[in-house]
Amino acid sequence: MGIEEAILQAVREESMEKGMEKGIEQGVEKGILQTALRMKKADFAMADIIKATGLTKAQIEKLV
């Protein structure tokens, strides 16, 4: 493998790793929002939803 190929391979691997990290982060965020919505629909107190999810009151109020 030449130097150019090695550089391209390293860039590809780094890009793939960043993409996977971003995907995982988005999945976690989606899970938190889903949990907050379920708690809201189950009539949990706003303070409890905020404490459990780390979301703000404004973020929770936007959920439908």
Contact by Cβ (8 Å): 39, 48: yes
Contact by Cβ (8 Å): 43, 60: no
pLDDT at 58 over 90: yes
Give the residue-averaged pLDDT of 17-25.
97
Give percent of the chain above pLDDT 70. Answer: 100
Give the residue-averaged pLDDT of 9-25.
97
> Tokens for 59?
């973020």
The DSSP-derived string for 26-46 is HHHHHHHHHHHHHHHHTT--H
Average pLDDT of the chain, as a whole number? 97
Q: How confident is the model at residue 1 (pLDDT cuts 50, 70, 90)?
A: confident
